Chains A and B, each alone.
Chain A
Amino acid sequence: MGIPAVQLSAVIAVAEMVGSNRIMLAQKIVNPVGNANLDPDEEKKLRRSMVEKALTALQAEAGEQVVLR
């Protein structure tokens, strides 16, 4: 049926309002999957861990709404 989707957004309230089922907190509006204050290597590690976490949301039952912070 549907394809599970996890939405990464720094503004969770909007994602919840519009009815996203799987939501994960992103870093910043201007830098969702990154952090410019980190060294490039550290930033990439952060991105990796965020994406791995996002994948866990895709493997979880969503119930009403699932929000990962």
Chain B
Amino acid sequence: MIRVVHYVNQFFGGIGGEDKADLPPRLVEGPVGPGKAVQAALGERGEVVATVICGDNYFAENIERASGEVRELVLPYKPDLFVAGPAFNAGRYGIACGATCKMAQNELGIIPAITGMYEENPGVDLYRRDVYIIQTTDRAKGMADAVSKMMNFAGKLLGKQSIGRPADEGYFPRGQLVNELVDLTGAERVIDMLLSKLRKEPFESEVERPVYDRVKPASPIKDIRSATIALVTDGGLVPKGNPDRIEMTTATRFGRYDIKNVDTLDPADYEVSHGGYDSTLVRQDPNRLVPVDAMRDLERKGAIGKLHDKFYSTTGLSSIVDIMKKVGQRIAESLKAEGVSGVILTST
């Protein structure tokens, strides 16, 4: 007997509309609203033992707290499967569905979880790598179809059957690269793709193209004369011996290097771990990449408050965007903790 717990928002839970979006999560026994379709799909094989209903704003405004509260409500019911939504195009609901499914997978005894969303739901981009999200239409009119697809897929998860490609199974790509044995070589496949592209025919890329997001520009520095400025580079300048083993390509790390009381970078102290450019000139004079000498001049002159006493370095060559995003975040956290007000980033 498959025990299922279902998550819905305040609207599908029949409690109210936007006026009830601040509702903290609560649990009722049995299926509610679309849960009845979930129960119908289960038939004799299982039971929706409980439904968690939560306000969309309550969840979206504090995802971690709400996920924790849902977990506490659900744990005693020991479900075998967690179902959320489907959320269609409702963004806050999509976020809640994604987050609760992720929680169920990680914290409820690692049970399978399934939800459904329309492709433009922000919950898709946020959670598709963590959870299986079945593709749905954008309106609740598609409820029966969405639930049926979700529960079919859930059956495969429960039966530990092998899961096929996203396009075949109807879920959003999870960003996983899976090895497959095929008859055509890579060269043959890529030429086929190119020919399709030139003929304006559809083709499926085997590799996901990175998407570059836009970040709101940070506010300008108001008082440069009292600001601490840090130097950061992706040119791979490292102390001799590369103590942190920054990789010369596809780097996963960065280093923080002390330049306290250093007036100018001495070529004897540095080397370059970067396979993408001829580093001769930089090795002759590392200030050409990390302009410590010029910054010290400005510091002495009072044009800036202080040159930060560490420079940060990584290698930007064949980088994986997701990894460099994390590297950037960690560098930013470090800079923030050390009271840096501005950064000059030098790239090769």
A residues bordering B, Cβ < 8 Å? 1-11, 15, 17-19, 21-22, 26, 29-34, 36, 43-44, 47-48, 50-52, 54-55, 58-63, 66
Contact = CB atoms under 8 A, between A and B. Distances in A.
Given A17-B212, A19-B215, A51-B298, 19 more contacts: A1-B218, A2-B332, A4-B217, A4-B219, A4-B221, A5-B344, A6-B343, A7-B346, A21-B217, A21-B218, A32-B346, A33-B287, A47-B294, A48-B297, A50-B291, A51-B294, A55-B229, A58-B224, A58-B342
B229 to A, nearest CB: 7
B335 interface: yes
A6 B224 CA distance: 14
A57 B39 CA distance: 60
A44 to B, nearest CB: 7
A6 B340 contact: no
B293 A44 contact: yes
B218 A9 contact: no
Contact of A33 (B213, B220, B289, B298): B289
Given A34-B288, A47-B293, A51-B294, A2 B335 contact: no
Contacts of A4: 217-221, 341-343
A26 B215 contact: no
Contacts of B65: none
Contacts of A26: 346-347
Given A26-B347, A32-B347, A47-B287, A21 B224 contact: no
B280 interface: yes
Nearest to A60: B220
Interface string B269-297: 00000000111111011011101011101
Nearest to A11: B347
A33 B218 contact: no
A23 B291 CA distance: 16
Contacts, number: 137
Pairs of residues from A and B, 7 with the lowest C-beta to C-beta distance, nearest first: A62-B217, A2-B218, A34-B288, A21-B217, A5-B343, A9-B347, A4-B218
A59 B346 contact: no
Contacts of B284: 36
Interface in B307-346: 332, 335-336, 340-346
6 contacts: A10-B348, A19-B214, A32-B235, A44-B294, A54-B344, A58-B220
Contacts of A50: 291, 294
Contact of A59 (B216, B221, B298, B345): B221
A59 B295 CA distance: 16
B111 interface: no
A51 B220 contact: no
A26 B282 CA distance: 14
B281 A31 contact: yes
